[in-house]
């Protein structure tokens, strides 16, 4: 496989190289390299999130939702209406709640 490099980024991956502008360079690569990867002159680096990074982002998002739900419920417990609690927390309960 061949990776086409522009400004240290993979802009194309092909089986065989073809003539390109002088600002672009063909480099040998394996079949795991994808468009968007970085290239430092010797190593390709993925720009894709790892499974751990995805799980961490999902956990952060769920924690934010849980905090909104908790804050919303505390405001309701203090006697605010749902509209008032939503205005303060940004949380709108779903129909089944």
CB 81 within 8 A of CB 88: no
The pLDDT assigned to 53 comes to 92
Strand, coil or helix: what is 28?
A: strand
The pLDDT assigned to 94 comes to 82
Per-residue CA distances from 87 to 6, 78, 79, 84 (Å): 48, 15, 14, 5
Cα radius of gyration rounded to whole Å, the chain? 24
**pTM greater than 0.85:** no
Strand, coil or helix: what is 64?
A: helix
């Amino acid at each position: 496989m061949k990776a086409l490099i522009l400004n240290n980024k993979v802009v194309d991956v092909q089986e065989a190289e073809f003539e390109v502008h002088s600002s672009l360079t063909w480099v040998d690569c394996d079949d795991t390299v994808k468009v968007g990867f970085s290239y430092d002159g010797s190593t390709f680096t993925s720009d894709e999130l790892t499974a751990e990074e995805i799980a961490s982002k999902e956990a952060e998002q769920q924690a934010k939702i849980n905090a909104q739900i908790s804050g919303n419920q505390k405001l309701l417990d203090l006697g605010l209406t749902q509209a008032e609690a939503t205005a303060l927390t940004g949380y709108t309960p779903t129909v089944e709640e």
